[in-house]
Structure 1
Amino acid sequence: MTRMQWAMAAVWMTAAAAAHAQTTGEPAAASGSTAGDAASSNTLPAVVVSAPAGDDSGTVGYVAKRSAAGSKTDTPLTETPQSVSVVTRDQMDAQAAQTIDAAIRYVPGVTTQDNDIRFDQITSRGFDLSDDSYLDGMRLMRTTWYATPRIDPYFLDRIDVVRGPVSVLYGQASPGGALLMTSKLPTTYPFHEVQAQIGSDNRYQGMFDLSGPVDQNGTILYRVTGLARDADTQTDHVKEQRLAIAPSVTFRPDKNTTLTVLSSYQYDPQGGLFNPVPAAGTILPNINGKISSHDYLGNPDTDRFKRQQFTIGYLFEHAFNDTWTVRQNVRYLHQDIQYYQNSIFGSLAPDQRTAGLFTNNNDEHLSNFTVDTQAEAKFDTGPINHTVLFGFDVQRVTDNISRGFSLGTIDIFAPDYSDVAYVPDTTKQYIGQTQYGLYAQDQLRYKKWTLTIGGRQDWARNSNTTDGVASDSQQHAFTWRAGLSYEFDSGIAPYASFANSFQPYAGTTFNGTPFEPTRGKQYEVGVKYQPKGYNALFTIAAFDLRQQNVETNDDAHPGFTVQTGEIRSRGFEAEARVSLTDSLNVIASYAFLNQRVTSAAPDDPSLGKGVPNGSPTNMVSLWLDYTLHGGDFRGLGFGAGARYIGASYGDTANTFQVPSHFLVDAMVHYDVRNWRFAVNANNLFNRQYIAYCNSGTQCYYGSDRSVIGTVRYQW
């Protein structure tokens, strides 16, 4: 599609939804409201024609008070013995978040690449979370290649970031935590919204979100959310295009039963390209000059990334009585990608301009199926109140891949691809992974004490067939956690917890022994404070987190590896989310991370005996959002944010550092009747910076300044 066609599509979507508003004549929702009611009530209320002014669900305002992310039960955050940060729908709207990376940039202890629109590049407490994203409690599974499920933040009600091991509830996962996203679900009240956005790099975008009851009794609810986007990027020759729609319907035949059927379709004709650049010429001197954040080092004539993604599933809940409730969540996802790219790798030659060239051609067809069945019981044994959860889940992912690659060299200051032959896909590969998990948890409450204890047994099987040669491995693991918290009358709630995790690991040692899963374990202590009478939540936490069975070189057998490595992360995190008045919202955070490689082979070049790359020691952020509610300028608001990300090492051998960077964001908005007009600027002073490096030629620029203007109409 041409740029004009994309712009017309965005305008058409906005105009169609606006026309619906004129024909229905439905009354407007409360100003500033969002779709916060996810139709999970146990009663069948009358239809309401306006959204609630605020709640603690994590969709309205900046401060969520409850979360199911850390327990799979609806639990106050002050009773959850683990660090959980909630990014609300209102925060995403206020900051005009265009990616998941951007939506969570103010969460403590979390770093993002910030400029790769192909995938979410996220770490927590120094460990990669890119493979540990969940939608509606179910994992978005991937394999080792490039087909990766991607969710647009406009389709979400909230994002919960759980820091630390989560395997006891979710199975295989990073020791650093998990990213849990919640879809926009049908609302019990009429809610309608259309938006149009225009911004830097020729960004044009139209969105709509329509929801409400179908019948007068509210037994059937609907929601349909859509988006069309066309944009260039800060990198020359790299574009971003997306068409997406997500319809859903909720059936509530009685007050005890809810069934929500969800589906989505996303088409990215141009899904962006990554652009590694060398350290020499960006953060280190290069005798040939500097490489800009706009320079694309690949081949614009051949490189492409195209993605189609489809999902369908359901969320079911039935309460038999006041004690027993059962739930079952199911989703099937399929994704097709076509990915061809030339990129640099290896190391620079002595002339500081000749680099290795890696050309890959991947055609992938990814499918994953997840089903999570739960039974929850609430009962008392004497003075002790129990919330007991039993569950069994199945996670299955397959990836059919046709791929090919070639190696060469390229002059990064004068790329010439005329002699680089097109690479066909010559290798056929099938990857299959299946995981079964059985888990149980009890939350025991005695007066002001809450004890949370749980355990889980997982069985995982991996299969791989490459050009007819098959291999298979099976792994299993038991994980558990325990946490104790106490809530004073003042709202102060100290806690302590232990949790562990596992991740299946493909491959074998020199003698053919399959690798064991990598394992993580964490001790965490902290304090949460929810002051009485104020809409605020303060949290501080200290942790000791270790990952064991890390792959490291086998000195006795060059070219092979053993699992003797260990990485230790220790740190401190603090977060404040405060709505001081109806006018002022504040988010503040600080994180200190001391991460070390504590065990590795003596001459292991992949790990080294130092600090893992990409792990800044200090991170600080602050966001303020102030709105006038009276006087001649009623409805006018201002926002500003500051983010500091400390220096980190750029390679595993710790031979160079990625400098720290300080970024400023800003926004202004004006609300009048059902309209909102807003302008957001990220990286206001246009600081060009390297977000992180994997090696001397695998460094990545962060986002340059971007400005987005938004017009929104709600009714």
Structure 2
Amino acid sequence: MKFRITMALLCIVLMMAKSQEVSAQQKVILQGTVKDRQGKSIPGATVSAEGTKAITSTNNRGVYKLQLNPGKVVLHVNFVGFEEKIKTMELSSGEVQENIILQESADVLQQVEITGRKEKTYKTKATFIGKIENELKDIPQSVSYASKELIADQGLMRVGEVVKNFSGVNQFSFYDDLTIRGFRVNGQSNTQLINGLRTSTGFWKQSLANYLERVEVLKGPSSALFGNASPGGVVNRVTKKPLDETRRSVSLTMGSFNTFRGLADFTGPATKDSTLLYRLNLGYENAESFRDLMFDRNFVIAPSLTFVPSEKTRINFDLVYTDSKSRLDRGQPIFGSFDLNSTPQSLSLNTTNDYLNELTYNATISITHKITDNLSLNASYLKTGYSEDLNEHRTSNAYGLDGNGVAINNLAGMNVQIRKRKRFIDNFSGYINYTPKTGVVEHKIVAGYDFGSEKTPVGGSQLTASGYRNAANNGAIATYVVANKSRYLLDAAGNPVPNVPHFHLNDPLSSQRMQDDSKLFFAQSVVAPTYYYLNSGYVQDQFKIGRLQILAGIRYEYYTDYANYKTQTEAKANSSAWLPRFGAVYSVTPNINFYGSYVEGYNPQTSSTISNPNAGGPFDPLKSNMIEFGSKTSWFRDQLSVSASVYQIKQTGALYATPGVVDVLRQIGEEQSRGFEFDVTGKIMPNWNVIASYSYNRAKILESGTVGEVGIQKPNAPKNTANLWTRYNFVDGAVKGFGLGLGVNYTDKRNLIYDAKFSPEDQITIPSFTLFNAALFYNIGKLQLQLNANNIGNKKHWVGGYDYLRLFPGQPENYMFTVGYSF
């Protein structure tokens, strides 16, 4: 039925296109070439007529063609790296030849990302992830990214979905939880960035991505830039900034799983002199899921203002506010046979009275002031607030037990948790950018100070029902011990009676109905208030001598943590680290660079950073280092970038789950990750976009007190991943206005977290998978129609998992239809 409706819509579109073709016969044909001052053609330049819907791009030979009404026309020609050309002309009839010459832009690099990005391509030329705008080819570390155009074309709405386009990055679970180069990065660990400032997310649910300009990942330890962070890399979410030209767009999406989504993006000058610019992104989502009992009700409002009082000063304010209502999905459980197909992928352990309500805000203010042509002051402050209200029925991470303590493999042990808590994060970054020239040496000097803190205030609390009922049936005992069998309430078969009824894996409907939790025995605990803060100073110089660039930087970080903050058992701990960063870039030709780098990482593992009061400890900090070599090249007038890298990362002190014990963590020894990555991003032709990558990663545990773990591939770290997505737009003939997108994603098999209770051959491995995706596009003036088909062929797969009771299945075949309008 949905397919017939879609085909009917496309037929209507074709008839509209035909009528437009007839009316176009009386128009003037304006055509010509766009070249630079040296006479070289510029493919991909945008040519538009002011006040009309006429817009096109030059082809590979720099040729453009527009159909216009006779009369006066104001022509605009734009291309990245060149100044805009505006030409007024009078058109009469027939064909008019008009050749355009563009002049290279002399724009100075920004110091803080305040001005919005005007380009509409997959390729991004520069990034601010190093606290100064740098061309990606000049950064001696691997950087992967996805622009808002790619995100929109693929119909994606979650960062966890976006990362399938990045080499060496994959999902760990449903949550804000990733693996980068074999090492886990999650939103609870406070190693996420928004606009280059440290924050953390709600972790359980990922917000809509409609307010993002791009998502980028700096690979490897980044502590020298941002403080404590994962050795695999750091994820930076860059928000959309105001533009100095008016753009407005709205879109509606409907599709599988009863999905409805509405988005809006408005930007432009707020004053006639353009000293105040605005941007407003809105998002609403109401969607069910292929998972039992799951849903998402999300609302996002993201306003942004830029004030430009003078050419030397810019001030920007960003706010991202998200309101999420859903249920917490702990994943798919399976039977004790470890057969992934023993239960349906839709199976969850929730009940209908579960809920998860989250409120999050990120408010940022940034200012940059240019003192001289080569000296500027920059400051940014980010305030994050998070509130969680949770009621969930979840697995106890173990099967139910019989009277002899033997696991009953079709019964999942259960807990009930009711929790309320808040978290507040403050980050300040102040620094100078100094770009002097001493003789033949050109410098890019960054020096500054960072302050960061996170606080879980007094007032958080949790009720937990777990374990087995005591013999008097007036309380619960945390674990069942066969030797003390007389202490427990037993059923007619002599098995201990659980406090929370076990979940029947072969009769889920009996367990998923609304539960009367008033009959459970709850243990009340306080979510221990925590507080940490850090003070850091750093200096870095990237100096250039001819074709060679050398980067040298050092950061000193002093970290202070309070456990049981503001209680009688308050405990204070301090740690510090010197964090170096070295790199070199050599330009063989203007479009071919080779690089090498060495960086070190550091991450305290305290009650605050772990965000788990029951984890145990104290733990030693994570320490890591990386050596990386690679090349970065650009082609087709810098429209296509190709990069390759090899690396080795070593880490000591990682935390893993303790087998058979809920929440408690243990520390292991050295881990190592070695690999190769290859990335392609940009345009092959002006109407042909592509992004592709391949990665090989051998990430293994070298030292552990648990013998079976040594030498095995790290959890959720596939050895091989590959992806390809391409979009081709038809620009001539009867199919003009149509576009076609095709994609494929491959992820190798992965181990789950090692469980010492089982022999190595019983450890769960989730299989490799290959997914095929496609999209159809059609533009009718300012209206765009888009149909996305995902997982064509309905491949059964898992995106990640923790253990045999917490597997995370990937979405089955699904379709999304989007109508967008720009005005």
The answer to whether the superposition gives a TM-score over 0.5 is yes
Question: 1:513 Cα shift?
Answer: 9.6
The answer to whether 1:138 aligns with 2:197 is yes
Match of 2:646 among 542, 548, 567: 542
Relative to structure 1, the CA distance from residue 206 to residue 656 in structure 2 (aligned partners, 3 Å threshold; closer, same or farther) is closer
Give 2:346's aligned residue: 294
Give 1:586's aligned residue: 690
Question: 1:463 Cα shift?
Answer: 1.6
Give 2:241's aligned residue: 185
Task: Give the Cα–Cα distance (whole angstroms) in 1 for the partners of residues 75 and 206 of structure 2.
Answer: 33
Match of 1:660 among 768, 789, 797: 768
Give 1:65's aligned residue: 125
The superposition leaves residues 665-712 of structure 1 with CA deviations (integer Å, 9 ceiling, x where unpaired) of 111110121111001122122222122222222211122223111111
Partner-residue secondary structure (3-state), 1:505: coil
The answer on whether the counterparts of 2:177 and 2:203 sit within 8 Å (CA) in structure 1 is: no
Give 1:701's aligned residue: 809
Question: 1:345 Cα shift?
Answer: 3.6
What are the residue-to-residue correspondences of 1:671-710 with 2, within 5 Å? 671-710=779-818
Question: 1:412 Cα shift?
Answer: 2.3
Match of 1:641 among 743, 747, 759: 743
Give 2:156's aligned residue: 97
The answer on whether the counterparts of 2:689 and 2:726 sit within 8 Å (CA) in structure 1 is: yes
The answer on whether the counterparts of 1:542 and 1:571 sit within 8 Å (CA) in structure 2 is: yes
The answer on whether the counterparts of 1:58 and 1:86 sit within 8 Å (CA) in structure 2 is: no
**TM-score, normalising length from structure 1?**
0.86
Task: Supply the AA of the counterpart residue of 1:712.
Answer: G
The answer on whether the counterparts of 1:30 and 1:53 sit within 8 Å (CA) in structure 2 is: no
The superposition leaves residues 257-315 of structure 1 with CA deviations (integer Å, 9 ceiling, x where unpaired) of 00011223221133x4223223548x9438xx7322222222122x1110112232211
Partner-residue secondary structure (3-state), 1:103: helix
Task: Give the Cα–Cα distance (whole angstroms) in 1 for the partners of residues 503 and 546 of structure 2.
Answer: 68
Match of 2:564 among 465, 473, 497: 465
What are the residue-to-residue correspondences of 1:611-626 with 2, within 5 Å? 611-626=713-728
Relative to structure 1, the CA distance from residue 311 to residue 149 in structure 2 (aligned partners, 3 Å threshold; closer, same or farther) is farther
Give 1:575's aligned residue: 679
Task: Supply the AA of the counterpart residue of 1:336.
Answer: S
Give 1:36's aligned residue: none
Task: Give the Cα–Cα distance (whole angstroms) in 2 for the partners of residues 506 and 196 of structure 1.
Answer: 44
Task: Give the Cα–Cα distance (whole angstroms) in 2 for the partners of residues 32 and 355 of structure 1.
Answer: 60
Q: How many residues align?
A: 656
The answer on whether the counterparts of 2:180 and 2:233 sit within 8 Å (CA) in structure 1 is: yes
Give 2:222's aligned residue: 166
What are the residue-to-residue correspondences of 1:596-607 with 2, within 5 Å? 596-601=700-705, 603=706, 607=709
Partner-residue secondary structure (3-state), 1:574: strand
Task: Supply the AA of the counterpart residue of 1:445.
Answer: K
The superposition leaves residues 306-341 of structure 1 with CA deviations (integer Å, 9 ceiling, x where unpaired) of 011223221111111112111111111212111121
Partner-residue secondary structure (3-state), 2:454: strand
The superposition leaves residues 21-52 of structure 1 with CA deviations (integer Å, 9 ceiling, x where unpaired) of xxxxx95798699xxxxxxxxxxxxxx99895
Task: Give the Cα–Cα distance (whole angstroms) in 1 for the partners of residues 754 and 805 of structure 2.
Answer: 13
Match of 2:600 among 500, 517, 521: 500
Partner-residue secondary structure (3-state), 1:175: coil
Task: Give the Cα–Cα distance (whole angstroms) in 2 for the partners of residues 377 and 535 of structure 1.
Answer: 30
Question: 1:595 Cα shift?
Answer: 0.9
Question: 1:202 Cα shift?
Answer: 0.8
Give 1:714's aligned residue: 822
Between stretches 317-326 and 259-268, larger displacement belongs to 259-268
Task: Give the Cα–Cα distance (whole angstroms) in 2 for the partners of residues 449 and 30 of structure 1.
Answer: 45
Task: Give the Cα–Cα distance (whole angstroms) in 1 for the partners of residues 54 and 170 of structure 2.
Answer: 35
Partner-residue secondary structure (3-state), 2:653: strand
Task: Give the Cα–Cα distance (whole angstroms) in 1 for the partners of residues 396 and 527 of structure 2.
Answer: 24
Task: Give the Cα–Cα distance (whole angstroms) in 2 for the partners of residues 238 and 275 of structure 1.
Answer: 11
The answer to whether 1:338 aligns with 2:392 is no
Task: Supply the AA of the counterpart residue of 2:133.
Answer: D
The answer on whether the counterparts of 1:576 and 1:588 sit within 8 Å (CA) in structure 2 is: yes
Give 2:102's aligned residue: none
Question: 1:447 Cα shift?
Answer: 0.7
Partner-residue secondary structure (3-state), 2:506: coil
Task: Supply the AA of the counterpart residue of 1:494.
Answer: F
Relative to structure 1, the CA distance from residue 202 to residue 563 in structure 2 (aligned partners, 3 Å threshold; closer, same or farther) is closer
Match of 2:366 among 292, 300, 315: 315
Partner-residue secondary structure (3-state), 2:744: strand
Task: Supply the AA of the counterpart residue of 1:193.
Answer: S
Give 2:23's aligned residue: none
Question: 1:100 Cα shift?
Answer: 0.8
Relative to structure 1, the CA distance from residue 687 to residue 194 in structure 2 (aligned partners, 3 Å threshold; closer, same or farther) is same
Give 1:22's aligned residue: none
Give 2:437's aligned residue: 380
Question: 1:662 Cα shift?
Answer: 0.9
Task: Give the Cα–Cα distance (whole angstroms) in 1 for the partners of residues 726 and 735 of structure 2.
Answer: 19
The answer on whether the counterparts of 2:702 and 2:710 sit within 8 Å (CA) in structure 1 is: no
Give 2:620's aligned residue: 516
Partner-residue secondary structure (3-state), 2:150: helix
Partner-residue secondary structure (3-state), 1:216: coil
The answer on whether the counterparts of 2:749 and 2:766 sit within 8 Å (CA) in structure 1 is: yes
Relative to structure 1, the CA distance from residue 66 to residue 552 in structure 2 (aligned partners, 3 Å threshold; closer, same or farther) is closer
Partner-residue secondary structure (3-state), 2:734: coil
Gaps of 5+ in 1: 1-25, 34-47
Task: Give the Cα–Cα distance (whole angstroms) in 2 for the partners of residues 629 and 498 of structure 1.
Answer: 46
Relative to structure 1, the CA distance from residue 448 to residue 514 in structure 2 (aligned partners, 3 Å threshold; closer, same or farther) is same
Give 1:285's aligned residue: 339
The answer on whether the counterparts of 1:29 and 1:191 sit within 8 Å (CA) in structure 2 is: no
The answer on whether the counterparts of 1:149 and 1:309 sit within 8 Å (CA) in structure 2 is: no
Match of 2:329 among 274, 288, 294: 274
What are the residue-to-residue correspondences of 1:15-414 with 2, within 5 Å? 60-69=120-129, 71-113=130-172, 116=174, 119-130=175-186, 131=189, 132-141=191-200, 150-270=206-326, 272-280=327-335, 284-285=338-339, 290-301=342-353, 303-348=354-399, 350-400=407-457, 401-408=460-467, 409-414=502-507
Task: Give the Cα–Cα distance (whole angstroms) in 2 for the partners of residues 66 and 378 of structure 1.
Answer: 17
The superposition leaves residues 178-214 of structure 1 with CA deviations (integer Å, 9 ceiling, x where unpaired) of 1111111111111111111111111111111111012
The superposition leaves residues 482-522 of structure 1 with CA deviations (integer Å, 9 ceiling, x where unpaired) of 011111225221111101111111279xxx99543111100
Relative to structure 1, the CA distance from residue 244 to residue 568 in structure 2 (aligned partners, 3 Å threshold; closer, same or farther) is same
**Considering only CA atoms, is the larger Rg found in Structure 1 or Structure 2?**
2
By relative contact order (CA 8 Å, sep 6+), the higher-ranking structure is 1
Task: Give the Cα–Cα distance (whole angstroms) in 2 for the partners of residues 570 and 156 of structure 1.
Answer: 31
Task: Give the Cα–Cα distance (whole angstroms) in 2 for the partners of residues 245 and 215 of structure 1.
Answer: 22
Relative to structure 1, the CA distance from residue 32 to residue 242 in structure 2 (aligned partners, 3 Å threshold; closer, same or farther) is farther
Task: Give the Cα–Cα distance (whole angstroms) in 1 for the partners of residues 302 and 430 of structure 2.
Answer: 24
The answer on whether the counterparts of 1:101 and 1:113 sit within 8 Å (CA) in structure 2 is: no
Task: Give the Cα–Cα distance (whole angstroms) in 1 for the partners of residues 310 and 286 of structure 2.
Answer: 43
Relative to structure 1, the CA distance from residue 229 to residue 561 in structure 2 (aligned partners, 3 Å threshold; closer, same or farther) is closer
Question: 1:609 Cα shift?
Answer: 4.8
The answer on whether the counterparts of 2:207 and 2:298 sit within 8 Å (CA) in structure 1 is: no
Relative to structure 1, the CA distance from residue 184 to residue 379 in structure 2 (aligned partners, 3 Å threshold; closer, same or farther) is same
The answer on whether the counterparts of 1:103 and 1:153 sit within 8 Å (CA) in structure 2 is: no
The answer on whether the counterparts of 1:588 and 1:621 sit within 8 Å (CA) in structure 2 is: yes
Task: Give the Cα–Cα distance (whole angstroms) in 2 for the partners of residues 620 and 312 of structure 1.
Answer: 36
Between stretches 398-407 and 537-546, larger displacement belongs to 398-407
Task: Give the Cα–Cα distance (whole angstroms) in 1 for the partners of residues 128 and 378 of structure 2.
Answer: 13
Relative to structure 1, the CA distance from residue 194 to residue 172 in structure 2 (aligned partners, 3 Å threshold; closer, same or farther) is same
Task: Give the Cα–Cα distance (whole angstroms) in 1 for the partners of residues 238 and 669 of structure 2.
Answer: 35
Between stretches 411-420 and 185-194, larger displacement belongs to 411-420
Relative to structure 1, the CA distance from residue 699 to residue 553 in structure 2 (aligned partners, 3 Å threshold; closer, same or farther) is closer
The superposition leaves residues 35-78 of structure 1 with CA deviations (integer Å, 9 ceiling, x where unpaired) of xxxxxxxxxxxxx9989565795952011121122x22111111
Task: Give the Cα–Cα distance (whole angstroms) in 2 for the partners of residues 292 and 702 of structure 1.
Answer: 12
Task: Give the Cα–Cα distance (whole angstroms) in 1 for the partners of residues 118 and 656 of structure 2.
Answer: 42
Relative to structure 1, the CA distance from residue 27 to residue 273 in structure 2 (aligned partners, 3 Å threshold; closer, same or farther) is farther
Relative to structure 1, the CA distance from residue 280 to residue 106 in structure 2 (aligned partners, 3 Å threshold; closer, same or farther) is farther
